[in-house]
Chains A and B, each alone.
Chain A
């Protein structure tokens, strides 16, 4: 464990999230290591997505949400007063449950949508970024001849990979994935899982999934949440073969839900 904490990329300290009167996340403290894949699992409504979304302050959009505690990104609290969520989010990208490309844009424009925000970029520079990002999500060969067609013409799986390409085009350090495969067919799911494995060389990845096999396949560490609380976190192999807590074991073996 000490090894993990040493190169901690993200640390949650006593994180609490309220929606109105609903206490959705309770006193969560956990750490995600640099260049690792951390999976968050748990039954529906256990607060796993809420935890994930607090790591890039997506709750800022929800008026009723209240976040307390601290989330350290490279040792700095992203919830501090002077801290700017806009700059922070460029370091912490996010991929959502349902593919959400911008429907009014071409494939090309979707990839550079985030990149273009920071001022005028040269065409050649953007061409390079589009190719690189699409290569990385292995979409390049499928779409290189039709970069300027509307993004909605892609299949669901391709759209999701496009969204990942859009996320990595801004060179984040962390990628948050909120059940990225739940809307995809098995083949697309497999492709995205392979992709996650490749991406972890460069990025720190946190993935929420309700699919335990997926967590077991892609992650290095796994955290189990239940009713807004972190029940157990540890090495994925250990969690799935020899969990410490009874609740974890019951969930893993499918004895409750």
Chain B
């Protein structure tokens, strides 16, 4: 009896230790990756990174300004397409939809968010790039929008569901039509939560690379036209990282630091919005 207890306690202790070890193992790469991004990033970053466009291969210097601006443009246009779709789609799910149809759409959104983003890029290539006879910023934005929609839809719906029914009833009882109630009362009271979801979705697509490969394509020069290939920060990081040039590696680290900083500011902002409720 005594030995059985001892054995069980030892198993227990070993398992607790194993779980601790696993947790440490999981967190070590995180520490390493951050260490390198900070170390390499800070030593690479300078004003040129934000003001210059890349130099031709092999030459020292240059920056990623066109990529940073390009990413901004891509995300902006993607938001213009994706946010209304996601948000008002969510309004349907929470305010109008019958439960079976809503469940079906919700499920599709979850499945859609699991589709590899490179597939999204291929689909947009077939639907936009081929007919338009060329890679373009618009195609890139569309690909990013397709990735945003399911995320925004699901988070917005969660927020709308939390708005108490009594609030809607109060507005309807005043004779306000349903659509105005939805806009002015329901959406408005869920606004902070929706903004949180939107920021997280933006942070997610800001780092997306694969869907841009054959839509936005990338560009070594300045471009702001929607119908032309455009540079994007993640694309530049990719191209520079796989190049054989040390100075481009340097730029890639600098770009990584910029990208990570941007993403974490967005998610911090999102958290702050989530808290402020």
Q: Is A61 located at the chain interface by the 8 A CB criterion? A: no
In the bound complex, how far is the Cα of B238 from the Cα of A68, in angstroms? 61
Q: Of all chain B residues, which has the CB nearest A120?
A: B4
Contact residues in B for A119 (Cβ distance below 8 Å)? 4, 7
Q: Of all chain A residues, which has the CB nearest B12?
A: A86
Q: Is B8 located at the chain interface by the 8 A CB criterion? A: yes
Q: Is B9 located at the chain interface by the 8 A CB criterion? A: yes
Most buried by A among B4, B5, B7, B9: B5
Determine if A118 and B4 form an interchain contact, defined as CB atoms under 8 angstroms apart. yes
Q: Is B276 located at the chain interface by the 8 A CB criterion? A: no
Query: What is the minimal beta-carbon distance from B7 to any residue of chain A, in angstroms?
Result: 8
Q: Is B1 located at the chain interface by the 8 A CB criterion? A: yes
Q: Is A117 located at the chain interface by the 8 A CB criterion? A: yes
Per-residue CB contact flags for chain A residues 115-128 toward chain B (1 = under 8 Å, else 0) read 00111000000000
Which A54-92 residues sit within 8 Å CB-CB of chain B?
84, 86-87
Q: Of all chain B residues, which has the CB nearest A87?
A: B5
Per-residue CB contact flags for chain B residues 1-40 toward chain A (1 = under 8 Å, else 0) read 1001101110000000000000000000000000000000
Per-residue CB contact flags for chain B residues 98-116 toward chain A (1 = under 8 Å, else 0) read 0000000000000000000
In the bound complex, how far is the Cα of B9 from the Cα of A87, in angstroms? 10
Determine if A86 and B4 form an interchain contact, defined as CB atoms under 8 angstroms apart. no
Which A86-100 residues sit within 8 Å CB-CB of chain B?
86-87
Contact residues in A for B5 (Cβ distance below 8 Å)? 84, 86-87, 118
Determine if B1 and A118 form an interchain contact, defined as CB atoms under 8 angstroms apart. yes
Which A18-53 residues sit within 8 Å CB-CB of chain B?
none
In the bound complex, how far is the Cα of B1 from the Cα of A102, in angstroms? 25
Which B85-138 residues sit within 8 Å CB-CB of chain A?
none
Q: Of all chain B residues, which has the CB nearest A118?
A: B4
Query: What is the minimal beta-carbon distance from B5 to any residue of chain A, in angstroms?
Result: 6
Contact residues in A for B8 (Cβ distance below 8 Å)? 86, 117-118
Query: What is the minimal beta-carbon distance from B11 to any residue of chain A, in angstroms?
Result: 11
In the bound complex, how far is the Cα of B136 from the Cα of A115, in angstroms? 68
In the bound complex, how far is the Cα of B8 from the Cα of A117, in angstroms? 8
Query: What is the minimal beta-carbon distance from B69 to any residue of chain A, in angstroms?
Result: 50
In the bound complex, how far is the Cα of B5 from the Cα of A46, in angstroms? 36
Q: Of all chain B residues, which has the CB nearest A90?
A: B5
Contact residues in A for B9 (Cβ distance below 8 Å)? 86
Query: What is the minimal beta-carbon distance from A125 to any residue of chain B, in angstroms?
Result: 15
In the bound complex, how far is the Cα of B7 from the Cα of A119, in angstroms? 9
Query: What is the minimal beta-carbon distance from B71 to any residue of chain A, in angstroms?
Result: 45
Known pairs A87-B5, A119-B4; list 10 more (Cβ under 8 Å): A84-B5, A86-B5, A86-B8, A86-B9, A117-B8, A118-B1, A118-B4, A118-B5, A118-B8, A119-B7
Interface residues of B (CB under 8 A from A): 1, 4-5, 7-9
A and B contact pairs by CB, cutoff 8 A, 12 listed = A84-B5, A86-B5, A86-B8, A86-B9, A87-B5, A117-B8, A118-B1, A118-B4, A118-B5, A118-B8, A119-B4, A119-B7
